[in-house]
Amino acid sequence: MTTAPTATPAPQDDPEYAANLRRATLASSIGSALEYFDFALYGLSTALIFNVLFFPQEDPALATVAAFATYGVGFLARPFGGLFFGVLGDKLGRKWVLVITILLMGGASTAIGLLPTYSAIGVAAPILLVIMRLLQGFGAGAEQAGATVLMAEYAPVKRRGFFAALPFIGIQAGTLLAAVVFSLISLLPEDQLLSWGWRVPFLASFLLILIALFIRMRLRETPTFIELEKHEQIAERPIRDIFTRGLPGIIVGVGLRMAENGGSYMFNTLALTFFVASVGGQADRSLLTWGVTLGSLIGIFSVPLTGALSDRMGRRTVYRFGALFMLVFTFPAWWLISLGSYPITIAVIAIGIGVAVNSMLGPQCAMLPELFGNRHRYLGVAMAREISAVLAGGLAGVLGAYIIAVSGANWLLLAIYMATLALITTASTFLVPETLRRDLTRIDDAIKVSREEAGEGVDATTVTVRTIR
């Protein structure tokens, strides 16, 4: 008598797997929240506080440009952090790198709240601010890549888009928290805000560090990295591999990120500076940040929604929608902000962040890890994310502030700039292969898999990759 084979339980039905999936989601979410709390807070402070406190005020416009330059310095450090920690993440595992990055990034952010200002120590103040931004950026350079890879490798294959997007609710939560906190401290009298009020949220970063560290220390390594170690497939020369075999994936990944990352920082920070320049005089800080607050609230729903839609419709389709939406939205958006109306500006920023940016972020959470093979996935995602962060997010603040200063706040120039970013990303969606349900234990990159390879004896639930010819 033949005994019928016992069905293998799905991974998500395993209590230990389910517990680790919850830990991974929490670990990634809190790290994302801390990173974007710090970066959004720094961006809001750049436009309205740091330009006053850390730079001489003989030329206020120049001080604002200089403040945004320190904002951009953090982005310059991110690729180096991504390179350094990306190598470690592919050699030592995802968990320990995420422990190190949260300490480095959060520690630098907390230290910013302790810095003396220009009136106290002169030119040493902006120098110290730059050093803290460099450390913050160095740690952040691998934080989001690690969170992205961690969740993609833990998530159930058929729902990878949804689960990989869940930690990025932390991005919205962090941005939302920064906007709410900044709105509250902006209610302080100006002398109290500029003397001690602005320091409070930076110092509060320490609490998020402790929570994230506790959760990450209890996290197990991802199943795909365990497979990599088991089969002794860890790359011996990861940097050479990623910039030779992995280079096509990096280039396409950078292109995909241009509109999402650049658009995010333009709506989060540059729009505030542009509004102030457009209306002239003193703008209401607390009202201006409500656009970011509402956009983040929308993102709490739109990021997992578009991630889930990409599980059904494909990553490219959903991503392309977001890029095209931004392309269509950008010209009316900047014209409307230029009108100087608080309600209209708040609505524009909320739609720009909540819909345009986050319609790309949702599918991106699974798509970038799926682009790269298991041997250099952490490094590949880190390079794609952080090179684009310099070219899109970091440059947006400096170049945008310069455009505002020299053009007399010309909305059309800013709209053309954002439209260019959207066009690059739209074009990239026609170059990237569809990565839906790709097997993440594979060591080859998705962009090199041909239609014939994907169709010859490979289960469609594992690999459904097509290369555009």
Compute how many other C-beta atoms are within 10 angstroms of the C-beta atom of residue 149.
32
Separation of alpha carbons 384 and 296, rounded Å: 24
Count up the domains in the chain and report the number. 1
Residue type for 184, please? Answer: L
Q: What is the pLDDT of residues 217-263, one digit of tens each?
A: 877 878 888 887 776 667 678 888 888 888 999 999 999 999 999 99
**5 assigned to some structural domain:** no
- Residue 113 tokens read as 């709240």
What sign has the CA pseudo-torsion 259, 262, 268, 273?
negative
**469 assigned to some structural domain:** no
Q: What is the pTM of this model?
A: 0.78
Separation of alpha carbons 314 and 245, rounded Å: 25
Separation of alpha carbons 367 and 314, rounded Å: 10
Q: DSSP letter at 188? A: S
Farthest-apart Cα atoms in the chain, separation? 93
Separation of alpha carbons 180 and 174, rounded Å: 10
Q: Are 285 and 182 in contact (CB under 8 A)?
A: yes
Q: What is the pLDDT of residues 263-273, one digit of tens each?
A: 998 998 788 88
**2 assigned to some structural domain:** no
Q: DSSP letter at 175? A: H
Q: Of 297, 28, 342, which is closest to residue 176 (Cα–Cα)?
A: 297
**1 assigned to some structural domain:** no
**7 assigned to some structural domain:** no
Looking at residue 15, its pLDDT comes to 73
**352 assigned to some structural domain:** yes
DSSP3 helix / strand / coil % (the chain, rounded to 5): 80, 0, 20
**451 assigned to some structural domain:** yes
Looking at residue 286, its pLDDT comes to 65
Q: What is the pLDDT of residues 184-217, one digit of tens each?
A: 887 888 888 888 888 888 888 888 788 888 888 8
Rounded to the nearest 5°, which phi and psi values hold at 442? -65, 145
Q: What is the pLDDT of residues 396-421, one digit of tens each?
A: 777 888 888 888 888 999 999 999 99
* Mean pLDDT estimate for the chain: 82
Give the structural domain span for 202: 15-455
Does residue 2 carry a pLDDT above 70? no
Q: DSSP letter at 459? A: -
The CATH number of residue 291's host domain is 1.20.1250.20
In a 13 Å sphere around the CA of 259, the CA atoms on its Cβ side amount to: 36
In a 13 Å sphere around the CA of 316, the CA atoms on its Cβ side amount to: 18
